[in-house]
Chain A
Amino acid sequence: MAADVTSMFEMRRRTFLAGAGGLALSTVAGVSRAADEVSGELAVLNWAGGTELDMLHNLQKAFVAKYPKVIIREVNVTGQGDMRPGMRTALMGGEKVDLFVNTWPAFRKELADAGILRPIDDQWKAYDWDKRLAPSWRDLGSLNKVTYGLTYTFGDRSGIWFKKDHMAKAGIADMPKTWDEFTAIMPKLQKAGFAAPIAVPGKYWAHAEWFETLLLRTAGVEVSAKLGAHQIPWTDPAVKTALQKYATLITGGFCGPAADMLATEWDAAADQVFQANAKNFILIGMWLNARAKDDYKLSEGKDYGLFQFPGLGMGHDDTSSVDSKEYVVTANGENPKAADAFLDFLTTADAANIIAKAGLASPSKEVDASLYGDVQKVATAAVANSKVQFVLGDLLPGDLVDEYRVQLQKFLQDPSDANIDKVLAAIEEKAKASY
C-alpha cells in the first residue's frame, strides 16, 4: 500500500513535472506561435499624400521590421479636398482592406452603421492600450460607447501660423494674446507692406477654420458640440455672434478681397505666407508643420512659429479646436491579427517617435516629448490646457458640410449682418433634412 502510495506520489510528481514542463514549453511555443501568426498580407487603404504619406510609410516600414512576415499592400485613393468619396467608392466597390486612416467622426458613424468597421474594445483590453493612451483618446474613437478608432496623431486647429521675419519687419516683438491686440497689429503689418495679413483659403473648406474657433471662443465647446449634433439651430444668436467677429476681419481689410480668398486653396494660402512672403497669418492645422520643414525648408521655431488663437474675453478663452487621425479596422479584412498588431504598434514608443519626428503629435504616453520642435510644443501644450472640441466641419453629415462650406463662401462675399442671417438660414434649412 505504502509502495503504492509512494509510486502514486512519484507518478503524480512525474506527471506534475511533465505537465508543468509541458505547460512551460507550450507557453513558450504559444507565445512564439502568436508572434509567428502575425504574418501575411496586410491591406491598407491610403488616401494621404506628401509628407504625411512619408510618415505613414515610415510607420509601415518600422512595423514590417518588427513583424517581418507581414507584407503590406497599399490601396491608394487619390483626389483633392474631401477624400471620403474615393474611400466610399473603394469600399463599396468591393476592395477588401484591413485598415485605414479616418479623420471624420461623421464618417466613422457612417462606416460603423454600414457594418464596415470592426469594434476594437476586446483588443483595447487584451493589448492593455490604457497603459499607453489616456482614456480621452478612447472616447474620441468611440461611438455609442463602442470603440472603433485608435488615434495615432492629433492637432491643434486653433493655432495661428506666422513667419518670424515678417513680424520683425513690422516691428512686432510679441505675438498677440487678445483679440484687440491681434487686430491692432494689422495696420503695422499693412504698413510694412503686407496688404492683407491674413490668408484665408476659401476655395474648398479652410475658410471655415476661423469661424469654428471663433464659435468656440464666443460660445464655448458645449454650444459648438450642440450645433454639430443640430441640438441648436444654425440661426442661434451665438452662431451669428461668431460670424460677426469673423466679419470684422473681412470688413477691416485684413483678409483681402473676397475673390482672392475664394480663388485660393489651402496649399496656395500656405505658400503665400511661407514662400511668397505676401501674407502673415494662416489658421489651418498642424499638417503645415511638416510642409514648412520639408517643402519650404524652414527651421521650426527659428523661421516660423505658432501662437494660440487670441482671447476674446467672452468667458471661453480656454477652448481650442482639435482634429485627430485614427486607424480603423474593417470587419471584412482578411488579416485581422496583423491589423490588430499594427494598431498595437501605433501605441509603442517606436511609432510615437516616428510621428513626433515628422512634426506631428502622438497621443501615446510613450512618446519622447523632446523630439517635438518648438511649434509642436506650443500646440501640444495648448491642447493639453484647453477644453477641446473636434473640428465642427468634420462632425457634420456629408450632405450638410458641403452646404455649410458653400454658405460660408457666400459670407466671405458679403459679410453684412443681413447676409449673415441669410447664410445661417440656408445652412439651417439644409440641416433640418440632414439628421
Chain B
Amino acid sequence: MSIEVRNISKTFGNFSALRNISLNVPSGELIALLGPSGSGKTTLLRLIAGLEQPDAGGGQILFHDEDVVDRRVGDRQVGFVFQHYALFRHMTVLENIAFGLRVRPRKLRPGKGEIRDRVRELLRLVQLEGLENRFPSQLSGGQRQRVALARALAVEPKVLLLDEPFGALDAKVRLELRRWLRRLHDEIHVTSVFVTHDQEEALEVADQVVVMNQGTIEQVGTPQAVWDTPANPFVYSFLGNVNLFHGRIHAGQTMVENVRLCVPELKGAADQKVVAFVRPHELEVSRTPYGPDDLQAQLRHVQGTGGLIRLQLERLDTKETIEAEVTREQFRELALEPADLVYIRPKAMRVFAEGGVLDYQI
C-alpha cells in the first residue's frame, strides 16, 4: 500500500516540528527518514501511524489514495516498532506476538489454534523459534527487537513503521540486524518506513532516503543519488565527512581559495560568496607542489584501520582542519610522519552558488 503525505505541519507549543511536509512512498518500498535529532523524522513517522495528530489546516495523509487523518490509530492497519521495543513486560514472547490478534472483536478473531500457528510462523520468520515462553526481560536486545517486529507483523499491517529500530543495540548486532531487515523486507514486501540518524544505516538498507532537517525535507532520492549528488550544503555535510572551502564569484570568475575554476555555467552569475565541498577521498596529497595554487598543510594525525588511511591535516594559512583519505599504498609512498608538511589540492568539488549547484572536476 502506498503512503502519501500532503502539506502536513505539526507544532508542539511554540516548536515547529514539521513544516508543510509532502512525501510519497510507493507501495512495497523501504524508505529511510534520515536526519539529525530534532529534524522531525520521528514526528513524521508517528503522524503516519496516527500516534500524533497533524495541525489543522487541510493536510492529508493518504494510504492507497484514501485519507486516514481522521482514522484512529488502531484502525489504520499499521505495524509500529518502537525505539525501545515497548514489549509488554508481563507477557511472554508468545503472548506479546499474539496480542494484536487476541484483542480483535470476536467476529474477526482467529481461533486459538490458528493464533498459535501464526505466532509459530512469525517466530520462524524472525528466527526466534523455541523462545515463545520467555519473558522480554530474558531476551537480549536484538531478540527483543525481533519480537517487537514479529508483534507488529502479526496483525498483517499494510504499512510497517520503525522508529530508530537499531538505535539501542551495540554496533555488531546493529549491522547484522539491519541486513536481516533488508532481507526480510525483500521477502515480505510490505511498504516500510524507518527512522534513523545513522546515515550509513539509511544508505545501506533503504530503497529511498528522505533527508530531513529542521522540520523540512531537504532531499529525497536513492542512496546513490543522495550520496553522489547532494541537493544542498546541508545534505552534503550530513552525509559523511566533508571539507568545506570558501570562495566567491567575481566578474563571472569563480574562485575557490586560490584556485580559479573554469565554470562556464556561472559566467553570468552575480558577484557572491560560494561554498565548495570536497570529500576526503577527493583530495590529492603530495610532498611536492603540483602548481602555485596548492594549499599547504601540516600533518597532525594519522588513523587507518582498513584499506584507507585518514589524514588529519591543518592548513598553514587558516589553521582549519582538513581531512584527507589516501590508500594504504599511497600512504606508504608518501612516507608521512606527523608534523610533515604536505601540499593538497582537490580533484573534484561541489560548488553551491546562488545560481545553482554544480560538480566541478579538476
Q: Are the chains A and B members of one assembly?
A: no
